[in-house]
Amino acid sequence: QHRPETRPVFFFRGNKMTSSKSPNGINCWIRRQHCPCGEQKCYIRLEEEKNEEILSDFSNVNLAPPYIGQKFRTDDDAFEYYTNFAKKNGFAIRRESSKSSVDVGVYIRLLVCYRSGSLRIRRSAKPDSQRGRKSSACGCMARMYIVKEVFGGIPQWCVKKFSNSHNHELLQDDQVHLLPAYRKIPDVYQERILSLSRYGCSVSHIMKVMQSERGKESGQLPFLDRDVRNFLQSSKKIDRENDLSELLNMCKAAKVKDLNFLYDFTMDDNAKVSSIAWSYGDSFRSYKVFGDLVVCDATYHEITYDRLLVVWMGVDNHGKTILFGCALLRDETSRSFKWALQAFLRFMQGRFPPVIVTDVDLGLKEAISSVLPNTKHVFGLWHIVSKLPSWFSYPLGPRYDEFKSEFDRLYSLVSRKDFESQWNQMLTHFGLVSNKHVSLLFSHRTSWALPYVRGYFLAQMTRTDFSKSIDAFLKGILGAQTSLESFFEQVGIAANNVRQREEKETEQILIKTSMPIEEHASSILTPYAFRFLQTEVVLSMQCAAFETSNGVYLVRHHKNVDEGCLVSWIPKDEKVNCSCKEFEVSGVLCRHALKVLALKNYFHVPEKYLPFRWRCESSILEAISEDWSQTCHSLTSTLYSESSITKERVSYVHEELSRVLNYVKTMPANDGVPLSLECQHMNTVVDDDSSCSGCTSTGNPFQSATDEQPLKKTTVREKKKKNYFVPLM
């Protein structure tokens, strides 16, 4: 066996090259692959597993050898190209040497075959202590010599010398992946390996399980037994003596910089930090406007400190993901989830979210029903869809795609009765009547199937780009090798992203129908929300409407004679209701309601159907003065200094500040514009330091009282650039 390289090896993820050596020897963040059925042998295969395998397979890629004069934008690009060529042809490469100067940095680099050079005898006081492993070095002269030059004023790397002459045998395609340079345990495998190890499985048993689950033969996995052994060993050697005290100190420092920063934590029997949660002032301000839907993600596990990551997020009026808070929990029990949810409620001053979206986690479901009894708990569709291949692709085989199409159709049904009857027909058709995962889905149908969650606001959660936005947001704050400090900083940046996002740009809205109702909506809604309404306006032109009785209309596609939706119209209240409940779900009027409004000669959308949370002016955070934070701190500091001179001054300032604070609390929190969560159905608001018991639901977020707000007329919007100071936490 050859001795592994001691220098960092490099692997590829997508088109980027990253080092395989993390600060602690292993990756920090990995996706949980637990199955909600509770059986250890049942796990969820992540979509990334397929991507990792595809990216690591160059058998179908025809790469020409490098040639003298070939140019690359960077030396990393040259290294990547040569690495791909090497793997395709049965060898590996490494960076051998380089030359640099103070003015231009590295300008010459030599890349060589992994078997270049000769065995170096290390001098040791105890020669017998050296292990007698055979060296892979054999003096191979295959190499590529690249030089940094300037072409047309642009620096590029040019191949000056290239040799593909090897003095050793090149490996076959089924062997090359076992070279140290290409051997790696992908992120998507690590959670499964750790899970099997916790249940007492040996390394050889783990390898057999991994091969069986992925349909691989012996030697086809991208890692060996010793790689698994080293991975498990390194995970045990991590220094956890400081547990999460480092993060606690960061929270304390952040509190000093930002008085609105909030955090909470628990201690174990050894006086170590067990769980910790935190949130930001900007997060609470965002929550007051966009807290009508909360996404609670608990799919990532931090293996350095063995903690579960919980992230609370929302969606703003531009469709961007915003951060409400974070937590690191000691375990995945319902008790830990309850503590995290209670901390979140305290951070949000006792304001219950009307809807919370999570993964299919029964422990989390129990905690939500206990802490948030008036909140509708919904399982994210993207979480369910990601599990379907692991559950049904094997028992169904080639019929899986047909099953998936039928599943998607049933999900979008309107009638609960139709869903249940057709669900049973689907099970009989595919022979899944006794399948445990089908039973699991059906028993919790009221938490995910659209016929049961219509009437609750889900933003645009039912659309595929919603889950992509959430996933991209999480990956933005979680790097595969992110340290705890940099992770905390990234979370702080994400919490302040509303301020940082104000780049100056002009957005031109294209009117498609020239209908007044479309032009009216374009002047009020954000481009993100308007796109969805515009789609419904266009589709409404393909609908036919038939009046039945008592102001009720049957609206359906002009080619469809069997189905349709019932739309009721109350002229006095300008109230329109559709049986599809699209407005209740997304906050955007459906094509059926728009068709009836057109029949009634409406040239604008009634105010109540242009929810404040989708309007341009709902970005109230933009109105915060850039220098108010610094000004406030300056005034406070001066006031403290001046008032501390005498007891009389202290007494006077204390009395006046109390009076001013009480008055400010009674002022509107939105400069006169009603907030989404502060409408006529909202009841109790709990102060920061008070208990959350007794808090009530915020009710329907779409009860609007914006009649007094002037309407904007232009369809061209210019965003002002703001240069907010964002402190690093």
What pLDDT score was predicted for residue 52?
45
The whole-model pTM stands at 0.63
Instruction: Tell me the mean pLDDT in the region 294-313.
Output: 88
Going by DSSP bridges, is the β-strand pair 376-379/355-358 parallel, antiparallel, or unpaired?
parallel
Which range, of 500-509, 528-537, 585-594, averages the lowest pLDDT? 500-509
Task: Give residue-wise pLDDT tens across range 534-572.
Answer: 999 999 999 999 988 787 999 999 888 778 899 999 988
Q: In this model, does residue 610 exceed pLDDT 90?
A: yes
Lowest mean pLDDT among 412-421, 492-501, 629-638, 719-728: 719-728
What are φ and ψ of residue 438, in 5° steps? -65, -40
Question: Do 483 and 28 form a contact (C-beta atoms < 8 A)?
Answer: yes
Give the start-end residues of each E strand in 373-509. 376-379, 506-508
Q: Sheet of 154-163: strands edge to edge?
A: 71-72, 154-163, 143-151, 105-113, 93-101
Average pLDDT over residues 437-466: 89
Reduce the DSSP state of residue 223 to 3 states and report it. coil
Beta bridge partners of 552: 568
Q: What is the mean pLDDT of residues 350-367?
A: 93
> Per-residue pLDDT for 186 more than 70?
yes
pLDDT at 1 > cutoff 50: no
pLDDT of residue 704: 34
- Using CA atoms, how far apart are residues 192 and 30, in angstroms rounded to an integer? 10
Query: 680 or 223: whose pLDDT is higher?
Result: 223
Residues facing 556 on adjacent strands: 544
350 falls in which pLDDT band (50, 70, 90)?
Answer: very high
Say if CB 462 and CB 381 are below 8 A apart. yes
Is the Cβ–Cβ distance between 613 and 676 less than 8 Å? yes
- Please compute the mean of the pLDDT values over residues 2-25 and round it to a whole number: 34
Q: Mind listing the pLDDT tens digit for each residue in 317-331?
A: 988 899 999 999 998
More confident residue, 449 or 475: 449
Q: Torsions phi, psi of 57, nearest 5? A: -110, 110
Report yes or no: 445 and 418 within 8 Å, Cβ to Cβ: no
**What's the confidence (pLDDT) of residue 132?**
54
Residue 354 pLDDT > 90, yes or no? Answer: yes
Query: Tokens 């395709």 sit at which residue?
Result: 88
**pLDDT score, position 447:** 94
pLDDT band at 243 (very low <50, low <70, confident <90, very high): low
Name the burial class of residue 213, with classes exposed (0-12), middle (13-18) and buried (19+) by CB atoms within 10 angstroms of its CB.
Answer: middle
Of the candidates 222, 109, 90, the one whose C-alpha atom is nearest the C-alpha of residue 157 is: 109
Residue with tokens 């995290």: 340
Q: Name which residue leads in pLDDT, 212 or 723.
A: 212
Q: Give the SS3 label for residue 315.
A: strand
What's the rounded Cα separation, in Å, for the pair 380 and 450? 11
SS3 category, 155 = strand
**Mean pLDDT for the stretch of residues 392-419:** 92
What is the DSSP code string of 53-107? HHHT--TT---PPP-TT-EESSHHHHHHHHHHHHHHTT--EEEEEEEEETTTEEE
Query: What is the pLDDT, as a whole number, of residue 721?
Result: 38
The most confident of 189-203, 429-443, 473-487, by mean pLDDT: 429-443
Q: Which residue has the higher pLDDT, 332 or 191?
A: 332
Tell me: pLDDT of 687 over 50.
no
Q: Mean pLDDT: which of 143-147, 462-466, 512-516 is highest? A: 143-147
Give the burial class of 246: count Cβ atoms within 10 A of its Cβ; 0-12 exposed, 13-18 middle, 19 or more buried: middle
Confidence of residue 236 (pLDDT cuts 50, 70, 90): low
Say what percent of the chain tops pLDDT 70. Answer: 75
Predicted pLDDT at 707: 37
Range 705-716 average pLDDT = 39
Tell whether the model's pLDDT for residue 587 goes beyond 80. yes
Matching residue, tokens 């016929």: 451
* Measured distance CA(606)–CA(707) in Å, rounded: 10
What pLDDT, on a 0 to 100 scale, did the predictor assign at position 18? 34
Residue 366 pLDDT: 95
Q: How confident is the model at residue 146 (pLDDT cuts 50, 70, 90)?
A: very high
Query: What is the Cα–Cα distance from 492 to 325, expressed in whole angstroms?
Result: 10
CA-wise closest residue to 32 among 377, 360, 324, 441:
360
Name residue 53's amino acid: E
Give me the residue spans of the domains in the chain: 10-118+134-236, 239-380+465-501+626-710, 383-447, 512-609
160-176 pLDDT tens trace: 999 999 999 898 887 88
Give the per-residue pLDDT at 368.
Answer: 96
State percent of the chain over pLDDT 90: 42
Taking each helix axis from N to C end, the angle separating 484-495 and 464-477, rounded to the nearest 10 degrees, works out to: 130
Question: Using CA atoms, how far apart are residues 472 and 481, in angstroms rounded to an integer?
Answer: 17
Whether 70 shows a pLDDT value over 60: the answer reads yes
State the Cα–Cα distance between residues 570 and 551, nearest whole angstrom: 7
- What's the pLDDT band for 68 if we cut at 50, 70, 90? very high
Amino acid (1-letter code) at residue 517: I
Q: What is the DSSP string of 242-285?
A: TTTHHHHHHHHHHHHH-TT-EEEEEE-TTS-EEEEEEE-HHHHH
**Total number of residues shown for the chain:** 729
Q: Which residue has the higher pLDDT, 354 or 645?
A: 354
User: How much is the mean pLDDT over the chain?
Assistant: 79
Show the tokens assigned to 712. 């904007």
| 155 Cβ neighbours under 8 A, 6+ residues apart | 148, 149
Provide the 3-class DSSP secondary structure of residue 682.
coil
Q: How many CB atoms lie within 10 A of CB 27?
A: 20
Q: What is the pLDDT of residue 28?
A: 61
Sign of the Cα torsion 442, 448, 449, 455 reads positive
CA distance 241 to 305: 10
Residue 479 has pLDDT above 60, yes or no: yes
86, two tokens: 């090497």
Single-letter amino acid code for the residue at 611:
P
At 109-136, the pLDDT tens digits run: 999 999 998 766 665 555 555 555 567 8
The Cα–Cα gap between 646 and 624 comes to 35
* Residue 33: predicted pLDDT: 65
Residue in this structure with the two tokens 């169904």, named with its chain if needed = 396
Q: How far apart are CA 178 and CA 1, in angstroms?
A: 12
pLDDT score of 127: 54
Phi-psi region of 219 (alpha: psi -120 to 50; beta: other; left: phi over 0): left
